[in-house]
Amino acid sequence: MLATTAVTIVVVGVFNVFIDPLGVFSSPRIAGISAIKPYPDHHREFVRYASARHLCSDVGIFGNSRAEIGFDPESIALATQGLSAYNHAIPGTSATTSYRQILWLQAANCLPMKIILGVEFFDFLGGTSSRPLPTLRTDPAPRLDVRFFAESVFSITGVRDSLATLFLQRSRYPATLTERGFNPLYHYIPEVEQSGQYVLFRQRAEENFRKWTHKPLRLRPTDGGVSDDEQAVKAILDTLAQAGAKTHIIIYPYHAQIRMMIERLGMGGLFSDWKRLVFAVAESQRSRGNSVEVWDFSGVAPETREAIPIKGDRKTHLAHYWEAGHFKKELGDLVIARVFGDQRNFGVKLERDNIDNWLLLDRQRVQSLLTTPSPLLDEVNDILSDH
């Protein structure tokens, strides 16, 4: 009995290392067996850190799921400039995670010299009192230790991931993460064909509504101190400035539906205040000669006003959005191109002499959408009246 137990555990371990679903053992990627890796739902920081160390890229993309899904490191804009990039963004995480990742890369001498940093308005909301930033400098980088082996190799989870890897090779729409950390979200394509993109928009909008309305409507803690995210962004910029890196802070291209909901829920002014806050943080760095830019892509533009398909429409695939918060690679490519020099796209680089006008104009455009009858306005009204 114990022999069977021991043999089974060893066989499982060897199998999991051979398939290497997380791609951390440098096992050969064999076509038809293990070339495509499944999207990791655990050890996500380690997976990215291991790949990023291996690649040591020129450009690092940081942020949450919007960045992970939207910014393809193999975007043409980067390739034409001869830049290699890696997407470090992790869903559901805040700037503190990005800061931790940056410290690990710095310690491993792999810190990219160009950074795309997505910042999230909703992460800044709330806070009861100021807390010092966790002492991340002492956090060790993840590594292949006993705990990792126990959790990922000699485990049912490891077997599940390895079997998923085998099945994934034949999948038409695999849920995968590319070698450069990009999540192409292929598996959403059959979702759209089954339920229609309206369902994705509606479901996410309802979730957003519930989430936002539970947050206190303020950017800073009640004691007037600095919020966790503001501290983290400042710490990131300090670290990057010391390393001589150039940072492009990105305010994500939210679909107009989100902007209209923000405005309707009385957060429109707060959203503008937040942009000013982000700009002020960047300005403080620039005044010390450091290279930091803030780009605002959240404005109303043809790209961010794409019409939501009607309920029951299972054929239409939007060009730029999965749902209002998560944009597709196609829109992400436009953002990256704009940041790296293409003047033709949407998006505004915030400067001292344009920020006031831009924020005023931007908000007027959103308010205008809320007073002009349209299917999008009907949808927003419907979502809000349901709650």
Partner 1 sequence: MLFNSYFFLLVFLPLSLLGFFLLGRFGKSVGANWLAACSLFFYAWWDSRYIALLLGSICVNYLAGSYIASHAGKIKARTALIVAIAANVLLLGYYKYADFFVTSANAVFETNWPVLGVILPIGISFFTFTQIAFLVDAWAGKVREYRFVNYVLFVTYFPHLVAGPVLHHKEMMPQFDDGRNYYARAENFAIGLTIFAIGLAKKVLIADNLSTYANPIFSAQASTPSFFLAWGGALTYTFQLYFDFSGYSDMAIGLSRLFGVRLPLNFNSPYKSHNIAEFWRRWHMTLSRFLRDYLYIPLGGNRHGATRRQINLMTTMVLGGLWHGAGWNFAIWGLLHGGFLVVNQHWKSICRRTPFRLPPRYAGVFSVMLTFLSVVVAWVYFRAPDVATANRIIMGMAGSAGAALPDAMVTRLGPLAQALDHVGIKSYLGGGATFFETWCWIVVSALIAFLTPNTQEIMRRFEPALPDESHVGFERGHRLAWMPQRRSAMVVGLLFALGVLALSRPTEFLYFQF
The site for partner 1 (CB under 8 A) is made up of 1-6, 8-9, 12, 150-151, 154-159, 194-195, 199, 202-203, 206-207
Three-state secondary-structure class, residue 166: helix
Closest CA to 90 of 136, 51, 125: 51
Choice between 4 and 135, CB closer to partner 1: 4
Q: How far is the CB of 323 from partner 1 (least distance, A)?
A: 11
Choice between 195 and 367, CB closer to partner 1: 195
In angstroms, the CA 84 to CA 87 distance is: 10
Q: How far is the CB of 9 from partner 1 (least distance, A)?
A: 5
Choice between 8 and 284, CB closer to partner 1: 8
State which amino acid sits at residue 190.
P
Q: How far is the CB of 203 from partner 1 (least distance, A)?
A: 4
- Residue pair 269/276 in contact (Cβ under 8 Å)? The answer is no
Choice between 42 and 137, CB closer to partner 1: 42
Choice between 31 and 146, CB closer to partner 1: 146
State which amino acid sits at residue 97.
T
The gap from C-alpha 249 to its chain's centroid, in whole angstroms, comes to 13
In angstroms, the CA 257 to CA 243 distance is: 39
- Residue pair 67/87 in contact (Cβ under 8 Å)? The answer is yes
Closest CA to 368 of 300, 308, 316: 300
Task: Give, in order, the Cα–Cα distances in Å from 129 to each of 126, 221, 231, 281.
Answer: 9, 5, 13, 20
Closest CA to 181 of 93, 85, 81, 103: 85
Q: How far is the CB of 158 from partner 1 (least distance, A)?
A: 8
Choice between 154 and 346, CB closer to partner 1: 154
Choice between 28 and 190, CB closer to partner 1: 190
Q: How far is the CB of 345 from partner 1 (least distance, A)?
A: 33
Q: Say which residues have a Cβ less than 8 Å from residue 115's Cβ, sequence separation at least 6.
A: 59, 60, 61, 62, 102, 240, 245, 246, 247, 248
Q: How far is the CB of 157 from partner 1 (least distance, A)?
A: 7
Kind plus residue range of the DSSP H or E element containing 251: strand 246-251
Q: How far is the CB of 91 from partner 1 (least distance, A)?
A: 16
